[in-house]
Structure 1
């Protein structure tokens, strides 16, 4: 670090010491200026006679006030302006006490706003110049009087320029910090959304396949001794469900891998083209499932296709877990205008209506996950008990974007 940079850092860390050094420099300049003879022609002439005691006192007071210019700029301007007027009226006209007022005016302009600068600058220029011209010992047209007018104007203008530059630099810094915060918030929001989506996928996969494995394992344990053939078939279903769960888990977890990790499976996400396969897994577990579709030939967006599949999967899983082995489920997929309607009904248990657990009942996240999926696509989901027993899940998924979407507020 250079000595100049080191000195600048020390002065910045100790503003009072910097102001004291400035005040001492201004005092030296005023003392040196008091020896200059402005009426000596084109060459600079130095007078031997020092300034009188009153001028020395006024210069000292004006310079001393500058030590506190950062703490009370308006008060310092008032003090320096007063001693400048006193010097102009009664003191030695050689003593440039007005230099302290110029520095104080510069400080006011650099630390306040523009209207305050205009008012303080005009008042200082008018008072100091008027006092020097009307009540001073020199003629009103003397160059010392005109110099006061010029120097006060320069001080106010320079201070306003410094303040404007600081404001521009601060605005640029704030915009950069705000942009950085916005990028970080956007990154966090996207990470949270991705985590939520992966959590929904994991929940759907685990809840569906583990429920099937649990049912088939229970069947195998129940008929192992009396009907080994049926137990063998149930265990085969357990193995198939486990394999499917592992494959889907591998595909989902593969999304979390980094670019240098082994390549994840490229198998597409499940959709309604695998609806018959999905219903077959539940039928093999003992649940009676009927499927009715009127969407043949409809090409669905990938997000809608996946959401419809997951809604049906979660609804049938809830039927399997909560309605009992005697329940019967009906699945319908219907294309109605620009929307796809998915409905899953069940007739409940033999003892009463089936109640699928929501977050407020069983603590599960199935219904919440379905609702989040559908809402993310700007669809609607309706769930609730059926009259006479059973449960109903009804989802409306927009296949085509609505015309009003472009007008929705962001």
Structure 2
């Protein structure tokens, strides 16, 4: 409990210092000033070979230069390069000037502590090229001044210490900058990946909603059109030919039952995996195209079907799309032309594609289905074909009637089925 409390307290203090950077830099400047004074008052060369603290007098000139140099560190974050220039200037000034006070030259070498802090700041907050150029120049200047005007001989430990600490400050600053850039890059990639996942999820949801909307439109439009036609026939012949009216009502009942079954299967796609009433029937395809055409024939539409023999099974997506295209095209004929039309359905298949063509004679008149209708059926057919990298062409014929031609590539659909 004590350890956790101490860690929480340290984290709280760190957060407060990050929120008040000038206070943190003022504390750093004060600590650096104290370190300079301790170094200046320490006797490094004693008879027993060990340093002794507080045995040397700190001269007023050294104290003044230390105060001026360390005070500039308060602005190290806002103006890193000017602060480095100031600390370097005061360090070199302390090494070069003949103070005529009897202060040993190794006492003034501790002024480089402020320069080391400023150099670290520059290397940590600028780019690599700038940090290496500025770092090399600073190391050469203060090390050269120390070896020329500092402690004797020129390779004294004080001079080598300035070289080591300044070089280490530049290297550590550059490493900290590189690590920050690496962490920022990882965070940016993670955020970008998260945005990409969210966009992909939204795209998949939109595609699924569009697919279900197409299925519902195809099912409802087809069966309701048949129900409407058969109900009209039953109403027309109810009094004079009750047997035919009864037959039409039976067709209405059968069409409505098929509509309910397909609606149940389509809406079942929205169920969760654990729901008890999941659909078990396969999706319709060209294998049951005869039943679809028979329903239109019973409604009074003349349909000729040209369906080649199945040599090999079609990809499920192509099979369903071809069935829905025929269903929607015949529904449009039933809706916009009526029972007096003659329609043809032709299915052609080769090694690379499946072609579905549905056209009618317009009941002897020019058809304007694309104009008078809502256009949702044609748009649904185009979307289905585009989803399988196919094409859909639809338009009126010169002699009257309407033609729908859809081409579905088999290879692209098979690859999509494998990837799914």
Query: What TM-score, normalized by structure 1, do the two folds share?
Result: 0.92
Counterpart for residue 153 of structure 1: 167
- Asked if the contact 1:30/1:99 (under 8 Å) is kept, the reply is yes
- Asked if the contact 2:389/2:412 (under 8 Å) is kept, the reply is no
Counterpart for residue 240 of structure 2: 226
1:15 aligns to 2:21 (yes or no)? yes
- Work out which of the residue numbers 372, 393, 406 in structure 1 matches 2:383: 372
The number of residues matched between the two structures is 402
Structure 1 residue ranges without an equivalent (≥5): none
1:76 aligns to 2:76 (yes or no)? no
- Asked if the contact 1:295/1:334 (under 8 Å) is kept, the reply is no
The farther-off stretch of 234-243 and 132-141 is 132-141
Structure 2 residue ranges without an equivalent (≥5): none
Cα deviation digits, residues 146-187 of structure 1 (max 9, x gap): 221111101101111211222222232233223323322222
- Work out which of the residue numbers 236, 259, 266 in structure 1 matches 2:273: 259
Label 1:132 to 1:296 Cα distance change in 2 as closer, same or farther (>3 A). Answer: closer
Counterpart for residue 353 of structure 1: 366
- Asked if the contact 2:44/2:50 (under 8 Å) is kept, the reply is no
Cα deviation digits, residues 304-346 of structure 1 (max 9, x gap): 1111100000000111111133111111112234322211110
Partner Cα distance (1:112, 1:262) in 2: 63
1:30 aligns to 2:28 (yes or no)? no
1:182 aligns to 2:196 (yes or no)? yes
Counterpart for residue 144 of structure 1: 158
- Work out which of the residue numbers 381, 384, 387 in structure 1 matches 2:395: 384
Partner Cα distance (1:13, 1:262) in 2: 57
Label 1:47 to 1:396 Cα distance change in 2 as closer, same or farther (>3 A). Answer: closer
The alpha-carbon deviation at position 48 of structure 1 amounts to 4.6
- Asked if the contact 1:295/1:333 (under 8 Å) is kept, the reply is no
Higher helix proportion (structure 1 or 2): 2
Cα deviation digits, residues 208-236 of structure 1 (max 9, x gap): 11111122222222333333322222222
Partner Cα distance (2:278, 2:205) in 1: 20
Query: What TM-score, normalized by structure 2, do the two folds share?
Result: 0.90
The farther-off stretch of 323-332 and 305-314 is 323-332
Secondary structure class of the residue paired with 1:37: coil
- Asked if the contact 1:208/1:317 (under 8 Å) is kept, the reply is yes
Partner Cα distance (2:241, 2:141) in 1: 114
- Asked if the contact 1:346/1:392 (under 8 Å) is kept, the reply is yes
Cα deviation digits, residues 324-371 of structure 1 (max 9, x gap): 331111111122343222111100144x3112227xx64331111111
Label 1:75 to 1:363 Cα distance change in 2 as closer, same or farther (>3 A). Answer: farther
Cα deviation digits, residues 247-300 of structure 1 (max 9, x gap): 111111111111222231210000111111111111121111111122343421
- Asked if the contact 2:25/2:76 (under 8 Å) is kept, the reply is yes
Secondary structure class of the residue paired with 1:34: helix
Partner Cα distance (2:52, 2:306) in 1: 111
Counterpart for residue 341 of structure 1: 355
